[in-house]
Amino acid sequence: MRTLHFYLLRQVLSALGMTVAVFTGLLLVGNVLREILSLLVNQHVPLAGVIKAMAMLVPYALVFALPMGMLTATLLVFGRLSADHELTAVRASGVSLLSLVAPVLWLGLAASALAALINLEVAPRCRVGYKELLYELGVARPTSFLVENRYLTDIPGWTIYIGRRRSDTEFEQVLLYETRNDQLVRRVQARRASVTVDATTRVIQFRLFDAEVFTRAIAFGAELSPAAPETNQVAAAESDWSMVFFGETSLPLKFSSAHPMDSRPKISEMTFTQLLAELAENQRRGIDPTPVMVHLHRQVSFSFACLGFTMVGIPLGIRGHRRETSFGIAAGLVLTVVYYSFIILGQSWETRPHLLPHLIVWIPNFLFQGLGAWLLWRGNRGL
């Protein structure tokens, strides 16, 4: 019996490692393309910094990849065992289904314990650390966002276009557009520009050469009067542009108003203990604590996803009688969508306390574990 258990665990762990690696890689690629690609485009960010940023995303990706991997692994392994009639041989030797799958259920419970550690503590801290690292990479290479042949809107109130990048601080054919109240008030065109950064004041200093500065008259006059908006709009539309040529001039731009760590983390990025403190503080001040309760219950309930997916994956894999990897991955994705739909529903109702959204996030656990227990019971009886 021990040999059979070791064989089964080895098969499940092998499939689990493969599927978790695949899902983690897919989730990492999504985050990399969205947030890190802009730092890599111009190849001015140290590779070590990018690798560190991706490493900090791994626990955050594991939050979702571990349950999905556990479900897919059980579907694949038990589907293959059923298709090869190995389960029939085991049952014929007098071994019950529950006795056979007991080690896998314990593995699902251990995976839930690991997921709890990641969900409640590790992932939130890594997510905050990841945002901090992205900020530091931006400060260390503050001009990394100045990409050639692209309109950039990273600095509020300004749109920047770079024609050609000569080095990390030297640029050619630079256009800068300033807008106020959704109106273009200044346009700067420079043949060449040199950029320096003051990390203390968080100011990017553009040193412009052979620059033509076009300024709208309204930029020098009084602000738009709320008493007569129509008159001001006409005046703005008919006002002439004035142009001044500078052989050399400077233009300071504020590239960040605050350090991301200057403020408290978002509720979705708080650890379990931080959420408990936030919940107590809101209750003390008489503030509706439902959003905090939803995220707190989501962290805890989501930790049991591995166990629920294991319990439902075993009997479904046996009943599927399929050994194809594509079937296991497809079935895993469908069940995962069903599970996460309740989580998304609970989070979307976090401002509606009368709907008890913090309890809705528990529904998929009871649903999957209840369905899995019933299917295992039927399978153990040979039904």
**How long, in residues, is the chain?**
383
Number of domains the chain contains? 2
**Average pLDDT of the chain to the nearest whole number:** 78
Tens of pLDDT, residue by residue over 333-345, are 788 888 888 888 8
For residue 50, the tally of other CB atoms under 10 A from its CB is: 17
Kindly report which listed range (126-130, 224-228, 332-336, 370-374) carries the lowest average pLDDT score.
224-228
Structure tokens at 323: 């050994």
236 with 184, same domain: the answer is: yes
For residue 223, the tally of other CB atoms under 10 A from its CB is: 9
Is 286 a residue whose pLDDT tops 90? no
β-pair type (151-152, 158-165): antiparallel
What residues contact residue 123 under an 8 Å CB cut-off, 6+ apart? 59, 60, 62, 63
Average confidence (pLDDT) over 300-323: 83
Structure tokens at 359: 């309890």
8 with 121, same domain: the answer is: yes
d(Cα 133, Cα 5) in Å, to the nearest integer? Answer: 44
CA 319 from chain centre, in angstroms, equals: 35
Domain of residue 339: give its range. Answer: 2-139+265-380
Tell me which amino acid residue 8 is.
L
Residue 110 banded pLDDT, cuts 50, 70, 90: very high
What pLDDT score does 3 carry? 80
H helices of the chain, where? 2-31, 37-40, 47-83, 86-92, 97-117, 123-140, 217-220, 229-238, 272-285, 290-302, 305-320, 325-348, 357-360, 363-380
177 with 246, same domain: the answer is: yes
Is 143 a residue whose pLDDT tops 80? no
Average confidence (pLDDT) over 353-375: 89
What residues contact residue 13 under an 8 Å CB cut-off, 6+ apart? 107
201 with 245, same domain: the answer is: yes
Are the CB atoms for 105 and 112 separated by under 8 Å? no
365 with 244, same domain: the answer is: no
d(Cα 282, Cα 289) in Å, to the nearest integer? Answer: 6
247 with 269, same domain: the answer is: no
55 with 19, same domain: the answer is: yes
182 with 71, same domain: the answer is: no
68 with 88, same domain: the answer is: yes
133 with 28, same domain: the answer is: yes
135 with 169, same domain: the answer is: no
Structure tokens at 206: 């553009």
Residue 255 banded pLDDT, cuts 50, 70, 90: low
Which helix (H) or strand (E) segment holds residue 159: the answer is strand 158-165
Question: For the chain, how big is the Rg over CA atoms in Å?
Answer: 29
Residue where a domain terminates, one of 199, 226, 254: 254
d(Cα 126, Cα 132) in Å, to the nearest integer? Answer: 10
Tens of pLDDT, residue by residue over 53-104, are 788 888 888 888 899 889 888 888 888 887 777 777 877 777 788 888 888 9
What pLDDT score does 218 carry? 57
326 with 368, same domain: the answer is: yes
Q: Is residue 335 part of a domain?
A: yes
Q: Is residue 206 part of a domain?
A: yes
